[in-house]
Structure 1
Amino acid sequence: MADIKYYDVILKPVITEKSMADMADKKYTFLVHTDATKSQIKEAVEKMFAGTKVAKVNTMNRDGKKKRRGMVVGKTAATKKAIVQLTEDSKDIEVFEGL
């Protein structure tokens, strides 16, 4: 496993209708590094966004999709998605404000 720093764990937020609806329950969805563990994701969220406390982290690994270019068959890159549940007394994440 690679030595991943906390600022390399979270790649970008996932903006979909479902993830926006989950924000009412203080659940935020991020695309994360494929080698990141749940404890690393929790640490990264708490360090990057001041005032947040993570209650739990759910992760899912997604395989790459099959793609064809003529006769050549390949795959897109595999990704990992994390849904972070914040505690009731924690601050909201400012990245998602105003969306």
Structure 2
Amino acid sequence: MAKLNYYDVILKPVVTEKSMSSMGEKRYTFLVHPEANKTQIKDAVEKMFDGTKVKSVNTMNVLGKKKRRGMVVGKTAKTKKAVVSLTDDSKDIELFESL
């Protein structure tokens, strides 16, 4: 496994109805690098967003879906998602404020 910098760990936020409803409870969902572990995700969130303190990180591996184009069958890429819970005294993430 190559050494990941904190800006390589978080790829993009996941914007769905379920993830937007959990933002009131200070839970944010991100698409992360497939080889990143929970401590790397925690450090990346605390360094990228000032004033945030991470309480817990839950990760899930999402398998690729089967896709078919004519007779050719293939799969989409597998991904990894992380649900980051912030402490009560932590600041909100400004990235989601405008959504």
Where has structure 1 moved over 6 Å in runs of 4 or more? Answer: none
CA distance in structure 2 between the aligned counterparts of 1:18 and 1:94, rounded to whole angstroms: 19
Displacement, 1:65? 0.5
Structure 1 position 73 matched with structure 2 position 67: no
Name 1:55's counterpart in structure 2.
55
Other structure's SS at 1:4 match: coil
Amino-acid identity (%): 75
- Taking the TM superposition and a 5 Å limit, the aligned residue runs for 1:18-97 are 18-97=18-97
1:47-78 alpha-carbon deviations (Å, 9 max, x no partner) = 00000000000000001001112222111000
Instruction: Mark the runs of 5 or more structure 2 residues left unpaired by the alignment.
Output: none
More off after superposition, 64-73 vs 44-53: 64-73
What TM-score do the two structures reach when normalised by structure 1? 0.97
The root-mean-square deviation of aligned C-alpha atoms, in Å, is: 0.7
CA distance in structure 1 between the aligned counterparts of 2:43 and 2:13, rounded to whole angstroms: 16
CA distance in structure 2 between the aligned counterparts of 1:40 and 1:90, rounded to whole angstroms: 19
Displacement, 1:12? 0.5
Aligned residue pairs total 99
Name 2:10's counterpart in structure 1.
10
Other structure's SS at 1:98 match: coil
What TM-score do the two structures reach when normalised by structure 2? 0.97
Other structure's SS at 1:42 match: helix
CA distance in structure 1 between the aligned counterparts of 2:63 and 2:19, rounded to whole angstroms: 20
CA distance in structure 2 between the aligned counterparts of 1:76 and 1:42, rounded to whole angstroms: 27
